[in-house]
Amino acid sequence: MRKNPPGIVTLITDFGWAGEYVGAMKGAILKVNPRCLPTDITHQIDPQNILQASFVLENSYRFYPRGTVHLVVVDPGVGTRRRALALEKDGWFFVGPDNGVFTGLLRGKGNTDVYEISARKYALRPVSPTFHGRDVFAPAAGHLSLGLAPERLGPRVKDPVRMDFPRPRESKKRLNARILWADSFGNLLTNVSREDFGPALASRPFRIKGKGWKIGRLSQTYGEEKPGQPVALFGSGGWLEISVNRGSALQTLGLKPGGTLSILWG
C-alpha cells in the first residue's frame, strides 16, 4: 500500500447528467473509500468520442496532486472482450477501458506501467455487462485511492490499444487540418499543435477563410478582434482553435467537427 494517498478520484465520461450513471459511479467509489473525494472533470465528452476523452485527460491530469486517480469511462465496447486497465505514470493513476482512451498518456514523455483489471475481488458483484464504469472501474479507482498498488489488480499489459492520431497534411501552399470537436462555447479545436506549427503560424503570412469571413493572423486571446469576428489562436491545451469573439464559431462559420480546415500560406 502507498502511504498517504490524496484520496482523490476524478471522472471523465460521456454520460451527461441525465440518469443515475454519474451518481452510481461516485457511490461505488465511496463504498470502497468513504473518505474519497470524487471530482468531476467533465461528463460532456461527445458520445463515444474516445479521441476527445484522451485529449481532455492528457490536458488535465497534471493539475491534480500526484497520487490522484483519474477514472475515464468512454466505453462503446462495454461488455465485449476489450480489457479493463489500470495505469501508473509519474505518480498519477488511471483507470478505464483498453480502447485507446489512454493514447495521449502513452505517447507522452515518461514511462507508463499498464495492468489489466482482472482480480474479481476488487469489483462489485454481480458485474453488469453494460455498466463496467460502476461495477469494475469505479471500485478499482476506489481501491487505488486507498493506496492499493495497481499490480494487485491484475497482470501487466504490454500492448495497450493506441489510436492513430490524425496529423495535418502540409504542402507548399496550404496546411490541411481536421476539426476535432467543439467545446461548450462553440470554439472549434483542431489537430494543429503549437509545438509543431506555432512558429510557422506566428511568422508566416496565412489565410483561413469561409463564406463571409476571413482570418489573417494568429491571436493570443479571444478578445483581440471585435465582437462577432473570427479568431485563430492556440488554446490552453496547445492546439489551434477557431473561435468567434463573444460568439460561437460552430454556429456562425459553417465549420463542423470532422471537417477539414484549410490554412493557406501566403
d(CA 230, CA 244): 4
Burial level of 11, CB count in 10 A (0-12/13-18/19+)? Answer: buried
Count CB-CB contacts under 10 A for residue 178: 17
d(CA 77, CA 59): 24
Does domain 8-153 match CATH 3.30.390.30? Answer: no
- Return phi, psi of residue 205, to 5°: -65, 140
* b/e per residue 111-147 (b: at least 16 CB within 10 A): ebebbbbeeeebbeeeeeeebbbbbbbbbbbbbbbee
pLDDT at 108: 76
Query: 115: Cβ–Cβ under 8 A, 6 or more apart, which residues?
Result: 85, 86, 87, 150, 151, 153, 154, 155, 156, 157
pLDDT at 165: 85
Reported as a single tens digit per residue, the pLDDT across 88-107 is: 999 999 999 999 999 999 98
Answer yes or no: is pLDDT of 21 > 80: yes
d(CA 251, CA 186): 7
Answer yes or no: is pLDDT of 261 > 90: yes
Nearest to 72 by CA among 63, 62, 80, 61: 61
pLDDT at 179: 96
Count CB-CB contacts under 10 A for residue 255: 19
pLDDT at 4: 79
Supply the pTM of this predicted model: 0.92
Reported as a single tens digit per residue, the pLDDT across 111-149 is: 899 999 999 999 999 999 999 999 999 999 999 999 999
The more confidently predicted of residues 132 and 6 is: 132
pLDDT at 19: 92
d(CA 205, CA 266): 5
Asked whether 99 and 82 are in contact (CB, 8 A), the reply is yes
Strand runs labelled E in 48-130: 69-73, 84-89, 92-97, 112-116
d(CA 189, CA 56): 12
Burial level of 236, CB count in 10 A (0-12/13-18/19+)? Answer: exposed
Q: Where in the chain is the domain with CATH 3.40.50.10790?
A: 8-153
Reported as a single tens digit per residue, the pLDDT across 197-242 is: 999 999 999 999 999 999 999 999 999 999 999 999 999 999 999 9
Strand runs labelled E in the chain: 8-13, 37-42, 69-73, 84-89, 92-97, 112-116, 169-170, 174-182, 188-193, 206-210, 213-215, 230-234, 239-244, 260-265
Does domain 169-265 match CATH 3.40.630.30? Answer: no
d(CA 246, CA 100): 35
Percent over 90 (pLDDT), the chain: 94
